[in-house]
Amino acid sequence: MSAFVFTLRDEPAQRLDLAPLVPQRLKGLREADIAAIALNTTRERVTVGDVFALRPGDSAQLRFEGGSARFDRVGAEMAEGEIAVDGAVGAQAGRLMHGGRLTIGGDAGPWAGSGMRNGVVEIKGDAGDRLGGPLAGETAGMRGGVLIVRGNAGERAGDRLRRGTILIDGAAGSCLGSRMIAGTVIVGGAAGALPGYLMARGSLVLGGGAAALSPTFADCGVHDLVANALLAGFVRPFSRDLAAILTCPLRRLLGDMAVIGRGEIFYPAR
C-alpha cells in the first residue's frame, strides 16, 4: 500500500502545529476525519484539509509533499511508522518521539529531536539551534534513538543529552554537547567554540576539531579503543564517513573538569 500523502496547497500564513499528524493518531481514521482535524496555530482556525490536499494511503507511512519553516512539531510524540517531509520544517520536529522514522528533506528549525526517546530522525539539510535539547525547565534533552543531520547544526546541539546518538555530517555551532549527561555526539566537520561545556558524562567525537577547546578538559593521549570500533559498527549504517573517523586513533580529552569530569572528547590525532 502506498503512503498517505499530504500535499501543501500554499505556503501557510501562520505557524502550524502538525503534531496530530502522526501514524498512531491517524490509524483507523477516514480521509474526511483527517481533513477535519483542527491544527493549533496563532490567529485563525485551520484544519488539515485547509492546508493540505489529501491522497489516502497507508496511515503508517505519511508523506508531506512540500515543506515549510512554519511546520512546527512535525512527528512530535511519534510512536511508529514513517513520516517523510519533502522540504523544510519548523521548530521541534520529532519532539518526544519514541519510535518510527522521521525524514526531513530540507532544513529543520530549533529543537529538532528535542527530548526524543527512540526512533530515527534524519534531517537532510541543516538543523537549527539546540538539536535534541530540552525545552526551558526540562532536566534532560534527548533520551534515546538516533538523530542524523546531513548538513550543519546550530549552537548547543546535544544540550543535556541523556542517552542516544546524534550524528552531524557537517559542522556544529558553539557549545556542542553542553551540559551533556550521557550519550554520544559525532560531528564530521568543525565544531564551534567550547564543545562539551559543563558536560558531566558522555562522548563527543569531533572529526574536524573545534574552534576553541575549554581548558577544563584534560588530555589523556592518543588511543585506538575497542569501544570506538563498536561505535563505528553502530554508526556505519547511518554514515560511513562518520564511522571512518572512529576507526583511526583518536586523542581523548577528559572533562568537563568544571563539573564531575567523566565525559570525553575525541578528535583525530595529528
Residues found near other proteins in the complex (CB under 8 A): 144, 163-165, 182, 184, 201, 203, 223, 225-227, 229-231, 233-234, 262, 264
Q: Concatenated DSSP letters for 82-134?
A: EEEESS---TTTTTT-EEEEEEESS-B-TTTTTT--EEEEEESS-B-SSTTPP
At 83, which helix (H) or strand (E)? strand 82-85
Minimal distance in Å, beta carbon 118 to other proteins? 10
Minimal distance in Å, beta carbon 185 to other proteins? 13
Residue 144: exposed, middle, or buried by beta-carbon count in 10 A (0-12, 13-18, 19+)?
Answer: middle
Do residues 169 and 191 make contact, with C-beta atoms less than 8 angstroms apart? no
Cα dihedral sign for 154, 63, 15, 39?
Answer: negative
Minimal distance in Å, beta carbon 91 to other proteins? 27
Minimal distance in Å, beta carbon 151 to other proteins? 24
The identity of residue 130, as a single letter, is R
Residue labelled with grid coordinates 568537563? 256
Q: In this complex, which beta carbon is closest to other proteins, that of residue 150 or of residue 262? A: 262
Q: In this complex, which beta carbon is closest to other proteins, that of residue 33 or of residue 224? A: 224
Q: In this complex, which beta carbon is closest to other proteins, that of residue 122 or of residue 129? A: 122
Do residues 154 and 127 make contact, with C-beta atoms less than 8 angstroms apart? yes
DSSP symbol at 169: S
* Residue 231, CB-side half-sphere exposure with 13 Å CA sphere: 27
102-111 as b/e: b if 16+ CB within 10 A: bbbbbbbbbb
d(CA 265, CA 256): 9
Q: In this complex, which beta carbon is closest to other proteins, that of residue 37 or of residue 182? A: 182
Minimal distance in Å, beta carbon 179 to other proteins? 18
d(CA 63, CA 6): 6
Q: In this complex, which beta carbon is closest to other proteins, that of residue 119 or of residue 125? A: 119
Q: In this complex, which beta carbon is closest to other proteins, that of residue 63 or of residue 179? A: 179
Minimal distance in Å, beta carbon 155 to other proteins? 26
Minimal distance in Å, beta carbon 226 to other proteins? 5
Q: In this complex, which beta carbon is closest to other proteins, that of residue 25 or of residue 223? A: 223
